[in-house]
Structures are given as structure tokens and as C-alpha cells.
């Protein structure tokens, strides 16, 4: 089954789809190993890991595409790409969708912020006119070659214009043909309930750790009818916290002996990144003499 078709099925299924955010190929592989069915390429995560900068519209389309392509190739589950505002107007959106679909992602987020955008849980956001966003959605729909490729239209209207405007825009985006409506940064359980009930399309919600939206159990969101819940920064925050802690320990102790329980074992990590498959390929495709020289006669 195509990854696009699989993602569409997961979104339409009555069971809520949980999509953790990956910021690179390794984090995507860990998400897949943990048993999740799909992964979101995290725009904030990519900005932080790729540039060491915040999510304020500094990533170029080519930089986002490059990292997203690596994420999509690293896993067998569907990946939702992050397109921010489409990196320009509707014409830029058209090209962006073509490029991201060719990179192997199963869908994209497309938001109605003014460029340069910023993280949906930051202050200082602005939104473009409704009519301009509808044209971006229309361009995205015409650009995609696979009809199952998901267009996830995001609105940041709550922060600037309130939940009523977010609902109005969500319905307009659905009417324009968006497959999924991503309402960013609802401020309460009641606002989430309203957007799910009043938008006539599947609705996506972010659960951002320490963000503007209250953290609500996924089971409760599922009962409310939320189609997709993304956790865009959980992996990034966990990795950065663990790395900082490990480096502070190393600086203080100058050896990691007492820290070993919180580190991957070398063999476990080489398995995670696919060394067994590489060795299998070597055994099948390298001459026997080369294998013997490399491994002393080792065979898989």
C-alpha cells in the first residue's frame, strides 16, 4: 500500500492518529521503533537541529526539503512534511508540493501565517487574508500528483482573531478541498471541542509540551472526535534535555562510567541504525575473500 493511502486511512479511521514529531532521520527511526504508525516532520525541530535557531521562518525550502527527504527515507511509516507557509505565495506552494511529494512524504502541513512565520505557540503571529489561503490550497491540490497525498491546512487564527474565525477558516479550507484541518494553539478544552464539532472535516490538534494548549489525554481527544494529534517537540525536548544532562555529567566527572545506565549500549545503537542490514548486504554482494579479510571469515 502506498504511504499516502495509508496515511489517509489512518486519518479517516475513528481511532485518533498520534504523530510524534521527528527532527532528523534518527529521531524518525526511533519513533517508528516505538510503534507509532506515522511521523510528523517537525518544523521547529528541524530549525533547531539543522540551524540551531528558533522556528521563526529562517529555514529555506531547500533546507526543509533536504532534511524531510532524509526523514522519509529512514522509515517505512508515512511521514507528514512541514511546508510552513509554502515558502511564498500560491506559486511557491505549487512548486513546494511537487518537491515534497517527490521526496516521498505522504502529505504536508500548509499554514495561513504571514511569511516569515513563527512557531504557533509564540507571540507575534500574523495571518494572511482568507482568500489568499484558499488560493494556496487550490494550488497545492492542483500540484499534487497522487490524490491521496494529504493537504493539511493549518490556521493560526485563534491567537489573532479568536476561535470563531478559526472555525470559519477551517470550514472554508475544507470547502476548498483540504483533507485535514489543523487548528493551531486552541487555549482550552472547550475550544478544542468547538473546532471538532463545528468544522466539517477531520481536525488535527497539536499537543505541544509547555505550549498554549492544555495537555489533554489522547483518549479524551479521541472521544471528542479529533482525527490526528501531533506531538511536534517531544522528541526534540527529550533529546536536548538528555544531551545537556550527559554533557554536564561528562564535564564534572570526565568519564561516563557512572552514567552508563542512561546511555545506549554500542551494540544496541548499531542495531538501531541498521548495521545488521549492512552486514547482510556485505555477505550477499561482496566477494568471499573481501568478507574474510574484513571479518576473519565472519558470516551472517
User: What is the sign of the dihedral through the CA atoms of 121, 113, 18 and 267?
Assistant: negative
Q: For residue 145, is pLDDT > 60? A: yes
Mean pLDDT (whole number) for 60-71: 98
For residue 210, the model assigns a pLDDT of: 87
Phi and psi angles of residue 117, each rounded to the nearest 5 degrees, phi first: -75, 180
pLDDT surpassing 70 at residue 256: yes
Average pLDDT of span 67-89? 97
Q: What percent of the chain has pLDDT over 70?
A: 99
Task: Say yes or no to pLDDT of 109 above 60.
Answer: yes
pLDDT, averaged across the chain: 96
Q: What is the pLDDT of residues 201-235, one digit of tens each?
A: 999 999 998 889 999 999 999 999 999 999 999 99
- What's the pTM value of the predicted model, to 2 decimals? 0.94
Alpha carbons 246 and 62: distance in angstroms, whole number: 32
Q: Domain locations in the chain?
A: 3-232, 264-300
Q: CB 233: neighbour CB atoms within 10 A?
A: 25
In degrees rounded to 5, what are phi and psi of residue 186? -60, 145
User: Is the N-terminal amide bond of 13 cis, ω within 30° of 0?
Assistant: no
pLDDT of residue 296: 82
Average pLDDT for residues 273-298, to the nearest whole number?
Answer: 89
Residue 300: per-residue pLDDT: 47
Predicted confidence at residue 270, as pLDDT, reads 97
Buried b (16+ CB within 10 A) or exposed e, 160-182: eeebeebbbbbebbbebebbbbb
| Residue 297: band (very low, low, confident or very high) from pLDDT cuts 50, 70, 90 | low
Beta strand pairing call for 17-22 and 39-41 = parallel
CATH number, domain 3-232: 3.20.20.60
Burial environment of residue 277 by CB neighbours within 10 A (0 to 12, 13 to 18, 19 or more):
exposed
- Name the nearest CA neighbour of 86 among 128, 136, 125, 49: 136
Amino acid at each position: 500500500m502506498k504511504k499516502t493511502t495509508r496515511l489517509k486511512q489512518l486519518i479517516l479511521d475513528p481511532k485518533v492518529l498520534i504523530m510524534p514529531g521527528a527532527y532528523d532521520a534518527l529521531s524518525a527511526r526511533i519513533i517508528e521503533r516505538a510503534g507509532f504508525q506515522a511521523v510528523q516532520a517537525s518544523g521547529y525541530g528541524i530549525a533547531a537541529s539543522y540551524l540551531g535557531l528558533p522556528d521563526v521562518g529562517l529555514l529555506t525550502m531547500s533546507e526543509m526539503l533536504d532534511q524531510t527527504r532524509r526523514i522519509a527515507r529512514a522509515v517505512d511509516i508515512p511521514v507528514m512534511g512541514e511546508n510552513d507557509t509554502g515558502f511564498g505565495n500560491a506559486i511557491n506552494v505549487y512548486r513546494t508540493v511537487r518537491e515534497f511529494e517527490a521526496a516521498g512524504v505522504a502529505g504536508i502541513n500548509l499554514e495561513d501565517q504571514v511569511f516569515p512565520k513563527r512557531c504557533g505557540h509564540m507571540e507575534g503571529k500574523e495571518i494572511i487574508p482568507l482568500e489568499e489561503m484558499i488560493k494556496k490550497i487550490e494550488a497545492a491540490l492542483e500540484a499534487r500528483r497522487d490524490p491521496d497525498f494529504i493537504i493539511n491546512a493549518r490556521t493560526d487564527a485563534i491567537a489573532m482573531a479568536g476561535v470563531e474565525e478559526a472555525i470559519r477558516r477551517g470550514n472554508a479550507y475544507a470547502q476548498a478541498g483540504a483533507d485535514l484541518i489543523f487548528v493551531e494553539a486552541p487555549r482550552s478544552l472547550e475550544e478544542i471541542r468547538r473546532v471538532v464539532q463545528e468544522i466539517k472535516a477531520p481536525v488535527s490538534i497539536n499537543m505541544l509540551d509547555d505550549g498554549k494548549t492544555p495537555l489533554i489525554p489522547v483518549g479524551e481527544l479521541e472521544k471528542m472526535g479529533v482525527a490526528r494529534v501531533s506531538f511536534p517537540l517531544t522528541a526534540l525536548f527529550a533529546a536536548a534535555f538528555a544531551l545537556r544532562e550527559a554533557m554536564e555529567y561528562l564535564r564534572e566527572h570526565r568519564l561516563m562510567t557512572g552514567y552508563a545506565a542512561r546511555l545506549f549500549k554500542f551494540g544496541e545503537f548499531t542495531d538501531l541504525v541498521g548495521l545488521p542490514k549492512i552486514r547482510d548486504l556485505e555477505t550477499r554482494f561482496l566477494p568471499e575473500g573481501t568478507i574474510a579479510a574484513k571479518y576473519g571469515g565472519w558470516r551472517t
